[in-house]
Chain A
Amino acid sequence: MRRSNSGLCLLAAAALFSALPAMARTITVRPQAGTSGSGPNDHTRLQEALIAARPGDTIRLAAGRFRLQKGLSLDVANVTLLGAGPDKTILDYTGQTGAAEGLLITASGALIGSLAVENAAGNGLKSKDVDGISFVNLRVEWTGGPKASNGAYGVYPVSSKNVLIERTLVKGASDAGIYVGQSQNIIVRNNTASMNVAGIEIENSYNADVHDNLATNNAGGLLVFDLPDLPQQGGHSVRLFNNRIIANNHVNFAAPGNIVANVPSGTGIMVMANRNIHITGNEITDNKGNAVMLVAYTQAFTDKAYNPLPRGIAVRSNRFSGNGNAPSFKGGAEIAAAIGGTIPPVMWDGVQRFTSPGAASHTEADGPIIVDDSPVLNLGLGTWGTPLDQAKPSVGSMTADATQPNALHEPDAIQLPAAQLARAAAIKGGMIGR
């Protein structure tokens, strides 16, 4: 690293160069011993480059394996961190002893592209409190296969705005492969998530398009959750479309206590709480449990601002086959047996009202459940808190006509800043075959 002794002040450099985008440079960092191995200084050299970068710079990571004992972090705006390809440039955290994230991004406008993150002790790639973050053509993998001791999330933007995750492969995460938490304005597309507990999860987030992804061999394919007691909650306006959600029958290997540990193996799509969720045009096949599960948050909560109900949900024009023949959710086998061995693709818990902590009266669901492509297994629980053994399961139709006359309108497509999309489009490779 030729600028390692320059003694630049990061903040001052940021102020000086933000006005001079033409000065953007490309800095190349190579693993210590090329492609055949490296040594303990990879972390120092890479971290120095990340600290010394100026806004607009590109840091190129040459092909090879960077052996890293500690996590890296990027705190300079508008930096591109670009490898030689997700099978060529590898950030290898095997045996990581400190700073649990693989790479933590805390500055806006970052693009991370064309590299791999392997065996991070905690999360693979995380961004927090940024506006504009793109993860493009990456591989995030725990190479020892699915294990509870793997890191929680592969790609993990949280409390972020204008999030793009595309053409990325995530394998082995002990929570969600791709997890977008408490964020806004999000596109997750053309990714592959496999052998994670959850393939892709959108949690406590607003305005997301999740499309053209492949989620296969996870315990659950795509999740849209909303949880209480968090700075951003009341998740809404998420579209899941044109995804392939295939055979998500992996054993759930999450550490108990985490919310995803409750996701039944064999789940295609699961929506818990949230409003205005649109599930359309997906291919959902060979998941042994529910192709689509719509449920309330069931744990006790004290948060008066929280709404545990899924409401305003539309399930339309999906292609279902081979799902539902061995549901693993509680009571699933008994219900399946009672209705002929296979449950219909869509299940709703039927919870339509709840009582906010300390409130005198019920709050009713403020939006319909509309399912026009499948019969619905309705557990008929009615009121939040009704135990599952008091379910009154029935199978019926919940098309728009049968439920409410008002159609639920889909939100507009997510728009990300044109400059962000253009930078991502300049990164080639990583499209999944169809």
Chain B
Amino acid sequence: MITRLLLAAASMALLGAASPATPDLKRLLAEYPQPTLAAYRLFTDKAAMTPAAGVELYTLNTQLFTDYADKARYAFLPAGTTATVSATGAIEWPIGTTLIKHFQYDEGEGVRRLETRLLIRKASGWMPVSYVWNAAGTEARLQRAGLTISLTIPTPQGKQAINYQVPDQNQCKQCHQQSGAVTPIGPSLGNLNNDGQLQRWSAVGRLQNLPAILPRLVRWNDPAEPLDTRARAWLDVNCGHCHSRAGFASNSGLYLQHDEQDPTHWGVNKRPVAAGRGSGGHSFGIAPGDPDHSILVHRLESTDAGVMMPQFGRTLADTEAATLIRAWIKAMPPVAE
């Protein structure tokens, strides 16, 4: 099962990659997803290490926690197209845009890549699809019904055995939907606003209508940033796609996007609605000053399927983020009932 991508890449280079160097837009836009990742020609080598023309690496300030997986993100825009910032600050991606995300672990002597997820912008909307890599790291095949991969991973707490979960197609949609339509989560203007990335995109014509004043979602783990914006950034990226007025958890009344204005809706003294045992016996989403009695902390620290939040996408708790959220709640002045 162990993939040694560096080795694989080296051997590919020796053999000489024969694939054409540009992505296959026709296949990206086809009705059905291709059986293999390679069919799209988004990368020039079998191990998908070298991006093809028009496929560019990008980074986010704050990313979703997926059991400490390393992620490498690329965006493909078809030649001659450009993304546009709308009046509301949303990025409108051209048809054919493909957002690519590798999920991998650095095991010291090499990187083991598990899956590569695509979000393909078709005329009818975004289509999510996941490809799972073979043990040799030479081929990634379509996986629609999800998969469990047992492996041992490095974590800040040491090595841990996990059952990594490749999501099924419906789970992709569950997180990625806003008002029923599949949408990207990570690459928002604020989350892409780092180290001149947006300005570079703008300069090369990949992004237009860039506002003069750019929003910025902070890095959740940057101690130089204020506690409040760090916590809100982490919650936005890890919870806000579902916990929003247009998201899958709209019925909870708990809205965790960073720009939510009503403290009750982001959890302060908010009672649970349908949490069941997820409440952990606590009365409020956030009990100000009291992280030990806040449902939010209970659920993000849990790994019990009936309690944990997010409900899938992780099997471990994000211990470092939990520490941040605890500190954030601890710093809130208690409110007299």
Could you tell me which A residues sit within 8 Å of B by CB distance? 7-12, 15, 43-45, 47-48, 50-52, 69-70, 73-75, 96-101, 104, 106, 120-123, 128-129, 148-153, 156, 158-159, 174-175, 179, 181-182, 227, 229-232, 254-259, 299-300, 302-303
Q: Within the complex, what minimum Cβ distance (angstroms) separates B152 from chain A?
A: 17
11 pairs from A and B in contact (CB 8 Å cutoff): A7-B33, A11-B125, A11-B127, A122-B305, A122-B311, A150-B277, A152-B275, A158-B274, A231-B251, A231-B253, A257-B295
Q: How far is the CA of A156 from the CA of B284 in the complex (A)?
A: 22
Q: Mark B137-160, 1 if CB is under 8 A from A, else 0.
A: 000001011111000000000000
Dominant secondary structure of chain A at its interface with chain B = loop
Contact yes or no, A257 B283, CB < 8 A: yes
Asked whether, in the complex, the Cβ of A256 is within 8 Å of the Cβ of B276, the reply is no
Give bound CA distance, A257 to B294, whole Å: 11
Q: Are A44 and B32 touching (Cβ within 8 A)?
A: no
Question: Is B168 part of the binding interface, using a Cβ–Cβ cutoff of 8 Å?
Answer: yes
Q: A47-B168, A98-B312, A153-B276 are in contact. Are A229 and B265 (CB under 8 A)?
A: yes
Interface of B is mostly: loop
B171 in the interface, Cβ–Cβ < 8 Å?
yes
B277–A148 CB distance below 8 A:
yes
Q: Which residues of A contact B305 (CB under 8 A)?
A: 96-100, 121-122
A254–B278 Cα gap in the complex (Å)?
11
**Pairwise interchain contact A257-B272, C-beta atoms closer than 8 A:** yes
Binding site for A on B (CB under 8 A): 31-35, 124-125, 127, 142, 144-148, 163, 165, 168-171, 173-174, 180, 245, 248, 250-251, 253, 264-265, 269-284, 295, 304-306, 308, 311-312, 315, 337
Tell me the minimal C-beta distance from B242 to chain A in angstroms.
11
* 18 further contact pairs, Cβ within 8 A, besides A257-B295, A303-B264: A9-B127, A73-B171, A99-B305, A100-B305, A122-B305, A122-B311, A152-B275, A182-B251, A229-B264, A229-B265, A231-B251, A256-B281, A257-B282, A257-B284, A258-B275, A258-B279, A259-B271, A300-B269
Chain B CB within 10 Å, residue with most, of A128, A229, A254: A229
Known: A47-B146, A231-B253, A256-B283. A174 touches B31 (CB 8 A): no
Residues of chain B lying within 8 A (CB to CB) of residue A10: 169
> Across the interface, do A174 and B251 meet the contact criterion of CB distance under 8 Å?
no
Q: Out of B251, B315, B337, which one reaches A128, CB within 8 Å?
A: B251
A255 with B146, Cβ < 8 A, contacts A7-B35, A179-B274 known: no
- A122 CB contacts on chain B under 8 angstroms: 276, 278, 305-306, 311
A44-B280 contact given A96-B305, A257-B275, CB 8 Å threshold: no
If A7-B33, A7-B35, A100-B311 touch, does A181 touch B337 (CB 8 Å cutoff)?
Answer: no
B276 with A255: CB separation less than 8 A: yes
Closest to B309 in A: A100
Whether the Cβ atoms of B281 and A100 lie closer than 8 Å is no
Task: Say yes or no: A151-B32 contact (C-beta < 8 A), given A97-B163, A229-B264, A302-B264.
Answer: no
Nearest to A95 among chain B residues (CB) is B305
Given A128-B251, A257-B279, the answer on whether A73 and B124 have CB atoms closer than 8 Å is: no
Assess whether A174 is in contact with B170, with CB atoms less than 8 Å apart. Answer: no
Assess the B174–A153 pair: CB atoms within 8 A.
no
Minimum Cβ distance to chain B for residue A102 (Å): 11
Which of chain B's residues has its CB closest to A75's CB?
A: B170
When the two chains form their complex, are residues B277 and A174 in contact, meaning their CB atoms are under 8 A apart?
Answer: yes
Contact status B31-A12, CB under 8 Å? yes
- Determine if A128 and B170 form an interchain contact, defined as CB atoms under 8 angstroms apart: no
**Inter-chain contacts of A50 with B (CB < 8 A):** 170
Q: Are A255 and B277 in contact (CB under 8 A)?
A: yes
Most chain A Cβ neighbours within 10 Å, of B253, B264, B306: B306
Residues from chain A with a CB closer than 8 A to the CB of B31 are 9, 12
Q: Is the CB of A99 within 8 A of B311?
A: yes
Is A257 within 8 A of B281, CB to CB? yes
Nearest residue (CB) in B for A197 is B276
A159 to B253, CA, bound (A): 12
Distance, CA A8 to CA B34, complexed state (A): 9
Nearest-Cβ distance from residue A43 to partner chain B, whole angstroms: 8
A105 CA / B183 CA spacing, docked (Å): 20
